[in-house]
Amino acid sequence: MDIYVVQPGDSVDSIAAAHGISAESVIFNNQLIWPYALAVGQALLLSAAPSPKEMPPLVSNGYAYTYISPWVLEQTLPFLSELSVFSYGFTSQGDLILPPEDDGWMIRMAWIYGTRPILTLTPLDSSGQFNNRLISSVVNNASYRTHLISQILQRMQFSGYAGVDIDFENILASDRDAFTAFVAEMQQTLSSFGYTVSVALAPKTSADQPGLLYEGKDYAALGAAADSVLLMTYEWGYRYGPNMAVAPLNMVRRVVEYALTEIPAEKISLGIPNYGYDWPLPFVRGETAATTIGNVEAIRIAIQNHAAIRYDERAQSPYFQYTRNGIQHEVWFEDVRSIQNKFNLIKEFGLRGAGYWQIMRWWRANWLLMEDTFQIV
């Protein structure tokens, strides 16, 4: 595949003719809609003549809620090694809580496509927030831990899951070692039945990084306890924060470089966002809230508002501004250029894989580029 950045005066037909490919392939790869308008600065994924090349292996994972569109899931599964179903919860006494909607159809569909379904465990409370009191109650009580792990094992055997992903956030610093012990106990119990255990890690850049997101995660100990880890390398730009790149490559690289001092590369997957944010400006902390958008949707917003897309070389991320109803907006998102650079980072350091938060929106160009870059295993 080739990446081409749209210039003033370009059209789908002129780009296709210049590259000796069909206009239909440009439209298909990039999910263009009639009348196939383009934005200046838009990065297009173009089909090229195949050439033999050595492709490194990649474990591809995507998180999905149980209400995902069956069509979107079916389109995405051929590109996934693992499907992380989001999510199971638990009570303060370690009773397992099932997702609000049936997950059986997702598990069955995953296996049809040769994708390993993964049970995602989170400490979300009734308000949908990560609750560190739930974490404290369970990880510090041996009987609660054993009870929860036993129920997870039974659920996996009953439902057909292949592994569990532990996604605990906002862990108290005082619970750090107890959380690590919980992960280790989970792995020891499930591995004897052929199941895997992964753990999601907040994006630290040093062992002693302060903050609620970081202090409860011991990279070295968790890397040793789990079969694999996911670096949640996104959300620098977030809904209630200032307008900036969601996953700036300069910061993502710092996280990876630190992680590699604590965890073997063959255990590490890089987190990749399948979304962007649209901020109304000016940003006022405590008042401004960005709107979450898809990466394909971002391009369409730029086209609708005749906005030129720029590319931040330091963050390796696309962005643009537009004005609607007298309000200025700034949009940061991912495109095939920013994704290619993240793929290059995976190859540079020989990482295990890539994990997408999340796959609720279909983004064909991303998956075609992955298929052209790696051997998905």
Note the pLDDT tens digit of each residue in 166-179: 999 999 999 999 99
* Total-model pTM: 0.97
Based on the domain organization, do 114 and 224 belong to the same domain?
yes
202 in the same domain as 350: yes
Asked if 63 and 45 sit in the same domain, the reply is no
Residues 92 and 194 in one domain: yes
156 and 31 assigned to the same domain: no
Q: Would residue 120 count as lying in a domain?
A: yes
Residue 150's domain comprises 57-277+338-364
Residue 327 lies in a domain: no
Q: Let me know whether 36 and 127 are in one domain.
A: no
Which residues does the annotation mark as catalytic? 169
Residues 146 and 204 in one domain: yes
Residue 96 contacts residue 155 (beta carbons within 8 Å): yes
At position 196, the amino acid (one-letter code) is T
Task: Tell me the C-alpha distance between 246 and 218, whole Å.
Answer: 24
Whole-number average pLDDT of the chain: 97
Query: Do 8 and 77 fall within a single domain?
Result: no
pLDDT of residue 135: 97
Q: Give the C-alpha separation, 286 to 293, whole Å.
A: 21
pLDDT tens per residue, range 150-166: 999 999 999 999 999 99
Per-residue pLDDT band for 66 (boundaries 50, 70, 90) equals very high
Q: How many domains does the chain have?
A: 2
Residue 188 and residue 225 share a domain: yes
Query: Is residue 313 domain-resident?
Result: no
Give backbone dihedrals phi and psi of 148, rounded to 5 degrees, phi first. Answer: -65, -45
**One domain, residues 171 and 71:** yes
